[in-house]
């Protein structure tokens, strides 16, 4: 079967992705405890870049101290982080992929013992999984975090990121503002739940010019009272109007975790229908994700115009050369769907994978 569609380059603004395969943002907890790049991260992303994906999204990288998602997450809230990220992005570029960064504020989906600060969110409602009540952000707090995203984007560009992704999915801070499930505000940020995000996009755009911006959203949160496709199909065009050059479609929140990284019993390409619906509502490229386990399937997604780019995460954790080996019809080490890499679900300290002991 031909794989022409998935290996077709894609131009976005001034960058060209060599193919349609993305290694999406993946928290590893491999950074130092104060958020710097480590040898382990260089080793992991160096291999992934050689492995054949066109776009490697590093992250989520925390834009503010009070939005750090884990004990050893990458950070980008100070200029001191630029040189380490520059080394990482250069390595990715030298090995043939476009380096990107995902900027994240975890909002209420973290713990103050990890951030060292009180948690913040659109409303003082705890995440049902983390169970810690956050403070409701006031206007100054909102502006400060929006500026943190813009400053972080400026640093990422300086470090050589070819694309900047804003994490608006999975119930983290931006996603929490978007959702009627977690945003019960009485002010303009409650009346217009996309306002917090569109203002961030505008600020980031002013900072980074024509560096493409991807916005990741949960097209369906799969929680009672949460976002559904009817709403996200209207939000996506507003993100594009504000300056998004790509929409990346995921699903779920911590309260519906199985949709964030779906197990195989949920079906191959379990969320591609969501990506297709969002793609129909916008005129920019769309990334889909979730249980895409072969390049043949990925090729169909692109050729049938379900999505323009295909994120493949766990198969590349299990074998960083998954793309090249599949392309050459060589055997690769398969992801066995065991869930070990989801370290935050079972109290492990960082990502590990029984199929890839060298991670």
Q: Which stretch binds ligand FMN (CB under 6 A): 108-116, 131-139, 237-245, 289-297?
A: 289-297
Tokens of 260: 């964030």
Interaction with ligand SF4 in 287-316: which residues (CB under 6 A)? 314
Place of tokens 């769907």: 337
C-beta of 137 vs 318, nearer to ligand SF4 = 318
CA atoms in the 13 A half-sphere facing the CB of 349: 5
Residues near 63 by beta carbon (within 8 Å), at least 6 away in sequence: 76, 77, 103, 104, 105, 145, 148, 149, 151, 152
29 lies in the site for ligand SF4, by CB under 6 A: no
Give dist(CA 87, CA 278) in Å, integer.
35
Residues near 151 by beta carbon (within 8 Å), at least 6 away in sequence: 63, 77, 207
Question: Regarding beta strands 15-17 and 21-23, do their DSSP bridges make them parallel or antiparallel, or are they unpaired?
Answer: unpaired
Q: Which stretch binds ligand FMN (CB under 6 A): 20-28, 115-123, 131-139, 301-309?
A: 20-28
Q: Which of 172, 181, 189, 254 is catalytic?
A: 172
Candidates 308, 317, 320, 322; binder of ligand SF4 (CB under 6 A) is: 317
Cβ pair 282, 298 in contact under 8 A: no
174 lies in the site for ligand FMN, by CB under 6 A: no
> What does 353 bind: ligand FMN, ligand SF4, none (CB cut-off 5 to 8 Å by kind)?
ligand SF4
Candidates 64, 66, 70, 102; binder of ligand FMN (CB under 6 A) is: 102
Candidates 264, 266, 338, 348; binder of ligand SF4 (CB under 6 A) is: 338
Confirm whether 172 is a catalytic residue. yes
Give dist(CA 149, CA 154) in Å, integer.
9
Give dist(CA 88, CA 62) in Å, integer.
16
192 lies in the site for ligand SF4, by CB under 6 A: no
DSSP three-state, residue 11 = strand
CB 187 to ligand FMN: min, Å: 28
353 lies in the site for ligand SF4, by CB under 6 A: yes
Tokens of 161: 């990121």
Nearest to 178 by CA among 113, 235, 102: 235
260 lies in the site for ligand SF4, by CB under 6 A: no
Q: Which stretch binds ligand FMN (CB under 6 A): 74-82, 200-208, 231-239, 285-293?
A: 285-293
CA angle 141, 109, 268 (to 5 degrees): 130
Chain centre distance of CA 45: 16
Tokens of 308: 């323009």
> What does 291 bind: ligand SF4, ligand FMN, none (CB cut-off 5 to 8 Å by kind)?
ligand FMN
Contact positions toward ligand FMN, by CB under 6 A? 24-27, 59-60, 102, 167, 169, 216, 250, 260-261, 289-292, 311-314, 341-342, 351
Contact positions toward ligand SF4, by CB under 6 A? 314, 317-318, 335-341, 353, 355
Q: Which residues are catalytic?
A: 172
């Amino acid at each position: 079967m031909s794989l022409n569609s998935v290996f077709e380059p894609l131009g976005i603004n001034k960058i060209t992705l060599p193919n349609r395969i993305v290694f999406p943002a993946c928290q590893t907890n491999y950074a130092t405890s104060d958020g710097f790049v480590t040898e382990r991260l260089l080793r992991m992303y160096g291999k992934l870049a050689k492995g054949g994906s066109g776009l490697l999204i590093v992250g989520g990288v925390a834009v503010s101290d009070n939005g750090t998602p884990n004990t050893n997450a990458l950070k980008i809230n100070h200029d001191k982080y630029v040189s380490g990220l520059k080394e990482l992005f250069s390595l990715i570029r030298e090995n043939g992929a476009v380096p990107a960064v995902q900027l994240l504020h975890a909002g209420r989906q973290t713990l103050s013992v990890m951030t060292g600060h009180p948690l913040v969110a659109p409303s003082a409602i705890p995440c049902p999984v983390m169970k810690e009540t956050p403070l409701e952000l006031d206007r100054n707090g909102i502006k400060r975090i929006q500026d943190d995203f813009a400053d972080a984007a400026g640093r990422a560009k300086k470090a050589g990121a070819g694309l900047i992704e804003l994490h608006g999915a999975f119930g983290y801070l931006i996603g929490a503002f978007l959702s009627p499930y977690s945003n019960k505000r009485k002010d303009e940020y409650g009346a217009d739940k996309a306002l917090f995000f569109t203002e961030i996009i505008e600020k980031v755009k002013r900072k980074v010019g024509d560096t493409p911006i991807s916005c990741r959203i949960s097209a369906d949160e799969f929680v009672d009272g949460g976002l559904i496709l009817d709403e996200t199909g209207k939000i996506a065009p507003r993100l594009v109007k504000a300056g998004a050059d790509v929409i990346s479609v995921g699903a779920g929140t911590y309260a519906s975790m199985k949709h964030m990284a779906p197990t195989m019993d949920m079906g191959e390409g379990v969320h591609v229908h969501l990506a297709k619906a969002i793609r129909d509502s916008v005129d920019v490229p769309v990334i889909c994700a979730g249980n895409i386990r072969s390049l043949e399937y990925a090729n169909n997604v692109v050729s049938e115009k379900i999505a323009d780019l295909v994120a493949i995460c766990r198969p590349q954790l299990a074998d960083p050369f998954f793309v090249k080996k599949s392309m050459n019809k060589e055997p690769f080490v398969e992801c066995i769907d065991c869930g070990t890499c989801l370290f935050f679900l079972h109290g492990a300290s960082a990502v590990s994978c029984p199929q890839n002991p060298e991670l």
